[in-house]
Structure 1
């Protein structure tokens, strides 16, 4: 497979992206069991500084095995941010050729994206997709430049690092990150790239996860970062139209098409006025 072909392959839809420490081969091997659309072998937050050097080889070996056993699974490795002492060696030593891409956290400028793409090219990994993490104040402020860079194919918003960088406090309702969360979703929409929503650290609280995912979907996120296998089916459910949503979309479009045939620009449907934007949204539901 050539580098150009890899870049041209369509990225699978990512409703769920499940993380595991690259330093835990046992956990990495189990990642596919919960049915995620994609997985990440993490060299950043999940690996202690003293273990990072050894974890690079572990990430490479685990990713190669996962690629061999699960060719339809989108497999990524998350390296440490540019500017850290680990970044260059992470890129040089941990990335196999068959990965779906590389996750780079805490990107803050288009210049940093250039640096990442140059490093990947130098390592012979220029074909890998770049999943850009926006999770600092500077990253959010420059999200349009970062996510809109032609070298970025997908993005995510990291609320925990962002609010730490801001010196703020996380709350149950999440209002403290709503502006930043929305800015990243907007930047991704303008760039035309998929964007994944923040983690929910309370991995034992299904209700909280579903409520948070519903907010993410409502503002334009296409999937969610998961830190526990139990969150995967919840994410897959939330970021897929329900049978009821699909049926309503079909019914709405039937009424809309009849109105269009009559030359009408709007029509009433279930007590709601429907025009082209709502019809377009219904088509999008059926396309998911």
Structure 2
């Protein structure tokens, strides 16, 4: 049985592709997506990359056999890197998808899709990594076809830009917002940036809340403890669900009484509030 991604993506947990015991533990925290990483988490040498390919391929088979409910992706090295073609050997048919990092131009996406098709892997869903200046600039042309999800990589973006990463994060507010907006237009699931403070739950929670407010539906995770926090932030709370039902009930009552405009909790109810309430209930139904 091949695992398929859920309808909603709240968490994507990365683990180094060269550490078999870590890879086998990925399902323990119940991430929506488990990602075997051949890129940043593996040393930049040919021998290390080759070892990771072999380990990841074996781990993918083990996960498919023992945790068929878990959606598993493999993150390859960038299409324009010297490792990409050989990375494709790590992909197997039981995977749910593949991550293409640092995409910058449509030609790179087309080349990757062509090589996947040649290997009979066109069924794999594609996550696009938007994490360079060129990637952000050309994101609209990258979020198409089999691309079903994407993420914004703040650390690589700032390094490519020549900027400085700050606590406030204002230096990535524009690209972070742009990627979320373009994902929305393309109907693509959007994953928000990594939080590198592994033991700081407060920092992760606060940053995830900001990501949600910008329009992201999930968070990249680099530690199992972050998965539960991502699910908490990107899932409707009981209070949100209760309020959404109450708002819609008040609106329906107003409609039946012939009132085009109603007041709810001291606020005038307008179309955006109704859209948000329905979205909350739709999300809750998916996760039920």
Do the two structures share a fold, i.e. TM-score over 0.5?
Answer: yes
Q: Give the equivalent residue in structure 1 for 2:267.
A: 272
C-alpha RMSD over aligned residues = 1.5
Q: Within the alignment, does 1:133 sit opposite 2:129 as a pair? A: yes
- Return the offset for 1:75: 0.5
Structure 2 distance, partners of 1:266, 1:162, is 45
Q: Within the alignment, does 1:250 sit opposite 2:245 as a pair? A: yes
Describe the SS at the equivalent of 2:9.
coil
CA deviation profile, 1:201-249 (whole Å, cap 9, x unmatched): 0011111101100011111111000000111110010000111111111
Contact 1:12 1:74 (C-alpha < 8 Å) held by counterparts: no
Structure 1 distance, partners of 2:32, 2:60, is 15
Structure 2 distance, partners of 1:112, 1:259, is 53
Structure 2 distance, partners of 1:151, 1:34, is 27
Q: Within 5 Å, which residues of 2 pair with 1:94-113?
A: 94-113=90-109
**More deviation in 67-76 or 20-29?**
67-76
Q: Within 5 Å, which residues of 2 pair with 1:118-267?
A: 118-147=114-143, 149-267=144-262
Q: 1:42 to 1:283 in 2, by over 3 A?
A: same
- Return the offset for 1:11: 4.3
Q: Give the equivalent residue in structure 2 for 1:286.
A: 281
Contact 1:156 1:198 (C-alpha < 8 Å) held by counterparts: yes
- Return the offset for 1:151: 2.9
Contact 2:73 2:95 (C-alpha < 8 Å) held by counterparts: yes
Describe the SS at the equivalent of 2:173.
helix
Describe the SS at the equivalent of 1:186.
helix
Describe the SS at the equivalent of 1:120.
helix
Contact 1:259 1:265 (C-alpha < 8 Å) held by counterparts: yes
- Return the offset for 1:71: 1.4
**More deviation in 121-130 or 132-141?**
121-130
Structure 1 distance, partners of 2:56, 2:257, is 60
Describe the SS at the equivalent of 1:99.
coil
Gaps of at least 5 residues in structure 2 are: 284-288
Q: 1:37 aligns with which of 27, 32, 36?
A: 32
Q: 2:73 aligns with which of 61, 76, 79?
A: 76
Q: Within the alignment, does 1:47 sit opposite 2:42 as a pair? A: yes
Structure 1 distance, partners of 2:261, 2:137, is 39
The TM-score with structure 2 as length reference comes to 0.94
Contact 1:132 1:152 (C-alpha < 8 Å) held by counterparts: yes
Aligned length: 281
Structure 1 distance, partners of 2:222, 2:277, is 31
